[in-house]
Structure 1
Amino acid sequence: MSGLLQGQVALVTGAGGGIGRGIALRFAQEGAAVALHCRTSVAAARDTADTLRDSGARTVVLRADLTDEDECRRLVGEAAAWGEGRLTALVNNAGVQPTRELAGMTAAQWRAVVDTNLSSVFACTQAAVEVMRGQEGGGTVTHIASIEARMPAVAHAHYAASKAAVVMHARSAALEYGHHGIRVNTVSPGLIDREGLEQAWPEGVRRWRQAAPLGRLGRPRDVGDACVFLASPLASWLTGHDLVLDGGVSARPTW
């Protein structure tokens, strides 16, 4: 690897899942020390940590419930303390994607998605900026959004709305934090492959492959590559941007 992130200290939320693991692996491969956040997927996060250590990377697993603002601040504080007072990159990846049509959705079910997908992004970013603004070189924040921020699906209204808000939060944060040397962007993936997906949803996978000009599903590594780029010096003049990562699906005409 090229060492694009050599010397960086990164926090990846939701690192117990497939996308979070892909992001963490790529950050470590490029030289970053990586704090892995999880809430319930402790075993998976620890497995990822073992993989990183085997490759010579420095890592730690931190648990927190990101629906609680105080927990968000504690998590960021622990990551920075582990990084000896430094935190150069935050990737807000943690999220949920339940399905429920609007007609039967309760306010509590709406809030559960918004609190996890959006409010946690606000709180973690705010806490991370307090660390980054006082260090040389500032830092980067990357939110994992979704193509559903622009292309909603039936029974995904709460998810799509939360991801659209995440995109606008990043643009607003880029505007307000830029003078501190802090860049804020989003990555909006399309359908990312995971174990058992094709067996569980064969028709959906088939339709995606047909719709994608590149003819395949995304991989966690693809999301990791995008996040590495945004956190690296290669993107030093890039902020407030939504990097769509969908194999070209959104380029296809809908009429």
Structure 2
Amino acid sequence: MMEFAKKRVVITGAAGVLGSWIAEAFAGQGAALCLSDIRSDALEARLAQSSILSSATTIVHATDLTSNDSIQSLVSLVETHWKSPDVVVNNAGIYPSRLLMDMTNEEWHQVLGVNLDAPFQLTKAFSRLMIDTGIKGCFVNMTSLSATRPRVGAAHYAVSKAGLSMLTRAFALELARHEIRVNAVSPGFAPGSHVSLVSEDYVAAMTQTIPLGRTSGPKDAPEAILFLCSERASYITGTTLVVDGGSSAGNYQLPVSKP
């Protein structure tokens, strides 16, 4: 029996590596999907390449998450088709590299807009639809180890994810009386993004810092999201599930043998 049969799931950033993995995980469990991404061509390509997604009940929306009008267009599309979603995964995120002293106001606001402002607007709008239709839905926000451990060149990203972690907890408190749950998943390093390309040497160096010895794969974060959105997690809200191979446990370095 498919766990999410007849459930309606909205996923932002669905054209990316992690977003497509999440979409396939829900589709494989029978969910109807609304896939959102600013790159409509990449979104259509994902649908064409995936037999699971192409066979699912799917609507798509080219969403500019820095535009209030575009966000409202996405919400209106979902309301027209479904009246309300059951699940919303705020997965979209951008992480350009820029030192603080070189960063423009526009670059700062773009990262905060996509990574923090958009989840605020979408959670507010979609939770209202859930409340109006009596849906006991759930939200999952994609946060990051950067929320607690910033790095040089990514201060705007770290601030946005720290804010998203707090926003997750705040929405969880306020929506609990409606039996709407809000959680977060902090995924591990998953190379393959076409937006922020990394070299093979970088991937190899990052892998050496992960205690379990591998990067995040197609089932790791998506399985955690499926769990949080399932009835098995019906008493879980306001928490962050870390799925990073042990990276957040501490600094990992293999012991150096003494001569």
- Determine if the TM-score, normalized by the shorter chain, exceeds 0.5: yes
- What is the Cα deviation at residue 53 of structure 1? 6.1
Partner of 1:10: 9
- What is the Cα deviation at residue 16 of structure 1? 1.1
Partner of 2:77: 78
Partner of 2:220: 222
2:133 aligned counterpart, secondary structure: coil
**Does 2:100 correspond to 1:99?**
no
- What is the Cα deviation at residue 22 of structure 1? 0.6
Unaligned runs of 5+ in 1: none
**Does 2:210 correspond to 1:231?**
no
Partner of 1:179: 177
- Deviation string for 1:149-174 (max 9, x for gaps)? 11111100000100110111000000
Give the 3 Å change call, closer, same or farther, for CA 200–120 of structure 1 in structure 2.
closer
CA–CA distance in 1 between the matches of 2:63 and 2:225? Answer: 22
- What is the Cα deviation at residue 254 of structure 1? 7.0
**Does 2:113 correspond to 1:125?**
no
- Whether the 8 Å CA contact 1:79–1:87 is kept in 2: the answer is yes
In the alignment of these two chains, the number of paired residues is: 251
Partner of 1:207: 205
- Whether the 8 Å CA contact 2:16–2:193 is kept in 1: the answer is no
CA–CA distance in 2 between the matches of 1:54 and 1:128? Answer: 23
Partner of 1:47: 45
Between the two proteins, what is the percent identity of the paired residues? 36
- What is the Cα deviation at residue 243 of structure 1? 1.0
- Deviation string for 1:193-227 (max 9, x for gaps)? 21789x94333322322221211000243222121
- What is the Cα deviation at residue 55 of structure 1? 6.2
**Does 2:28 correspond to 1:22?**
no
Partner of 1:244: 242
Partner of 1:160: 158
Give the 3 Å change call, closer, same or farther, for CA 59–52 of structure 1 in structure 2.
farther
Partner of 2:134: 136
1:16 aligned counterpart, secondary structure: coil
29-38 or 101-110, which moves further after superposition? 101-110
Give the 3 Å change call, closer, same or farther, for CA 96–54 of structure 1 in structure 2.
closer
Letter in 2 for 1:175: L
Q: Which of structure 1's runs of 4+ aligned residues deviate more than 3 A?
A: 52-56
Partner of 1:67: 66
- Deviation string for 1:124-164 (max 9, x for gaps)? 11110111112334201111111111111110000010011
CA–CA distance in 2 between the matches of 1:152 and 1:195? Answer: 20
2:55 aligned counterpart, secondary structure: coil
The aligned runs of 1:24-39 (5 Å cut-off) are 24-39=23-38
- What is the Cα deviation at residue 252 of structure 1? 2.8
Partner of 1:87: 85
1:138 aligned counterpart, secondary structure: coil
CA–CA distance in 2 between the matches of 1:66 and 1:196? Answer: 18
Give the 3 Å change call, closer, same or farther, for CA 72–220 of structure 1 in structure 2.
farther
Which of the two has higher C-alpha Rg?
2
- Alignment root-mean-square deviation, CA: 2.1
- What is the Cα deviation at residue 3 of structure 1? 1.3
- The one of the two structures with greater contact order (alpha-carbon pairs below 8 A, sep at least 6) is 1
- What is the Cα deviation at residue 188 of structure 1? 1.0
